[in-house]
Amino acid sequence: MKLDLQRTVILLTIFTLGIAGSILFTSSTLNYYNLVSSYGVQTYSISPFYELLYLLIGLLVITGIILLLIHFKLIEVVIGLFIFVSFLVLLDFFNVLFSPLFSVFGEQLTLASLALSILFIVYYFKYAGSVGMNVINIIMFITISSIVSLALNILTAMILIAVIAIYDYIAVFVTKHMITLAKGLKNRYLLGGITLAAHRTTKRGTAFLGGGDMVFPMIFVDAVFQQYSVYGALFAAAGAILGLSLILIYGKRGKAYPAMAFMGPLQLLFFAGFILLHFI
């Protein structure tokens, strides 16, 4: 994945801005759910450990389903699934974005969220170029990470990052099913919120950063932000940025790397450093 300096800086900038956006959006998401509760709407809540278990099982099941669909050349069904998931994520994004105005405009904002979600989906799949797709992808990554982080405590968030780091290593270097997944979606990898964070092609190589390689670091950063402080979140973010930098700078051209296997351990290490400094 070796790139020239310009492309490396671009990709790291996109990644960094995505993490910063996830912190800001998490703050808005917290306010949104507080607003929902104030209107007497009951929110469903279970133990963070069960949330973590359901999340991990869900990821395995969804990955398995997509691999089967690709194997049987049912790519249209895969696209349909992405469209459905993208619509739900965008709907939540606009609900959170418009929540400060809900007391004034009420149900009109709900209709606006529905309409904008549909328009974004149509634009994404019909008219957007790579830049437009990347922007919408980042919006969806930020939304997903904020929602998931609300369901986890710091311990379950740490377990999630550790498990995903190990899984990513196995999926790329051992079973290699993630490579199969990426190849199966080639020419269609610009799909809602899961497969692409940034894509830059030069004579010196192509960078492909999977959606999970943005979402999972964001989840941990957002969890630290909620339960500690923005300074703790910056430490966790720095670990992820350093991990990605190592891959971009030292990775071999044309080779796939499990990004979370680098970013996850460094995030945990930097967070441990924050905790140590916090108590000194």
- pLDDT tens for 172-211 read 999 888 877 766 665 454 444 444 344 444 445 556 677 8
Whether 53 shows a pLDDT value over 70: the answer reads yes
Over residues 88-96, mean pLDDT: 93
What value does the mean pLDDT of the chain take? Answer: 83
The pTM for the full model equals: 0.88
The pLDDT value given to residue 108: 84
The pLDDT value given to residue 202: 41
Question: Would you place residue 41 in the very low, low, confident or very high pLDDT band (cuts 50, 70, 90)?
Answer: very low
Q: Is 71 helix (H, G, I), strand (E, B) or coil?
A: helix
> Cβ of 34: how many Cβ atoms within 10 Å?
10
Question: Would you place residue 135 in the very low, low, confident or very high pLDDT band (cuts 50, 70, 90)?
Answer: confident
Residue 165 vs residues 12, 23, 53, 174, 175: alpha-carbon distances, Å: 19, 22, 16, 13, 15
More confident residue, 270 or 257: 270
The pLDDT value given to residue 89: 92
The pLDDT value given to residue 186: 58
Pinpoint the alpha helices (H) of the chain: 5-38, 48-71, 75-98, 102-105, 107-122, 130-150, 154-169, 177-184, 212-227, 230-250, 259-279
Cα dihedral across residues 79, 80, 81, 86: positive or negative? positive
Whether 265 shows a pLDDT value over 60: the answer reads yes
Whether 18 shows a pLDDT value over 80: the answer reads yes
Whether 118 shows a pLDDT value over 80: the answer reads yes
| 83 in Cβ contact with 121 (< 8 Å) | yes
Distance CA 107, CA 249 (A): 49
Q: What percent of the chain has pLDDT over 90?
A: 44
Residue 124 tokens, joined: 């994404």
Question: Would you place residue 156 in the very low, low, confident or very high pLDDT band (cuts 50, 70, 90)?
Answer: very high
The pLDDT value given to residue 220: 97
Over residues 209-230, mean pLDDT: 92
Distance CA 27, CA 33 (A): 10
The pLDDT value given to residue 200: 40
